[in-house]
A and B are shown apart, each in its own frame.
Chain A
Amino acid sequence: MSAHEGAIDQQHSGTTKLFVMVWVYLLALTGIEVFLAYERLAVILMLVILIGLSLVKSALIVAYFMHLRFERLGVFLLLVPAMVFCICMMLIWFFPDSMRLIELRPH
């Protein structure tokens, strides 16, 4: 592989600087999560923020460390929508059922 081809290939799968940047972002987001735990926010608020931050972190890992951003769109369409659909199916009764049981709980 020539130096020029190598440079093009690296452009299409990320550079060392990009990976280090992603790592710094991931550490910073983890730091924010720990800080929120230290602040002892309400559990529901914490849950929403933490799940949101975890989704951002996992998107960074999948896109850059796992190179999904550099793959064909077809790969993304094959993997992600089906997975999200299955997780939504797991959650479909989660909220109504848990709310119903909370209502049934003796006060």
Chain B
Amino acid sequence: MSHMDAEGIVESSWSGGTSPFAMNSKKLGMWLFIVSDSLTFSALLIAYAWLRLESPAWPRPFEIYPAIAFSSLMTFALLSSSLTMVLGVAAANRGDRKKAVRYILLTMVGGLAFVALHATEWYKLIVIEHVTPWSNPWGTPLFGGTLFGLTGLHMLHVTIGVIYLGVVAVGFARGKYEADDVEVSGLYWHFVDLVWMFIFPMLYLLSVNPH
């Protein structure tokens, strides 16, 4: 895009001062972070798929009830928290601070429910089933390593996300942060949800006990 000014000098988007992507730098920065983080998770998921394909006896220990029902409930909590987050962003863009903060708090509740359910599941696996990152009762030791590695990194993202949303909610309620900041935190939260959409089927649904 270019135009001539009064002196006939041609200005273009490359001259600076314009926003070719029509978004602020914080939002663009978050998008670039999300792309890099999605490559980290892609690498881990591809490595997991490779190991699984190469191992003659990859364990498939999860029963529909309770393990799959439990992880489905976790998926429901995360998906619902994404809905409340997007509604919070919409409220923030409308300038309705009170409603936006309420939706962000609901999102945090969804995230905390996910972490609590996940911690319970880890407790069952570690204490009752005796699964560790290097051993398990069912065979291929790497099963525990990949499971705890992938879900652990994801749970770390969720935990950081809950803290991040808390900081944004307080800042937005006090007028320190603007709607743009809420939207940027929303991008991060939806990404965490998106990653789970791959971890849930690949780790849990593909490891349902075939008998």
Contacts and interface: CB of A to CB of B under 8 A. Distances in A.
Contacts of A38: 64, 68, 208
Interface string A16-58: 1001100100110010011011101001001100110110011
Contact of B197 (A57, A94, A98): A57
Query: Interface size for chain A: under 10, 10 to 19, 20 to 34, or 35 or more residues?
Result: 35 or more
B80 A23 contact: yes
Contacts of B201: 33, 50-51, 53-54
B43 A90 contact: yes
Contacts of B31: 75, 79
B82 A65 contact: yes
Contacts of A20: 83
Interface in A49-90: 50-51, 53-54, 57-58, 61-62, 64-67, 71-72, 74-75, 78-79, 82-83, 86-87, 90
A97 B54 CA distance: 10
A62 B21 contact: no
B46 A1 contact: no
B197 A50 contact: no
B95 interface: yes
Contact of B206 (A50, A65, A91): A50
Query: Interface size for chain B: under 10, 10 to 19, 20 to 34, or 35 or more residues?
Result: 35 or more
A1 B95 CA distance: 9
Interface stretch (B86-94, B127-135, B141-149, B151-159): B86-94
Given A33-B205, A71-B21, A102-B54, A27 B42 contact: no
B38 A83 contact: yes
B49 A94 contact: yes
A90 B42 contact: yes
Contacts of B198: 54, 58
A66 B54 contact: no
Interface of A: 1, 6, 9-10, 13-14, 16, 19-20, 23, 26-27, 30, 33-34, 36-38, 40, 43, 46-47, 50-51, 53-54, 57-58, 61-62, 64-67, 71-72, 74-75, 78-79, 82-83, 86-87, 90-91, 94, 97-98, 101-102, 105
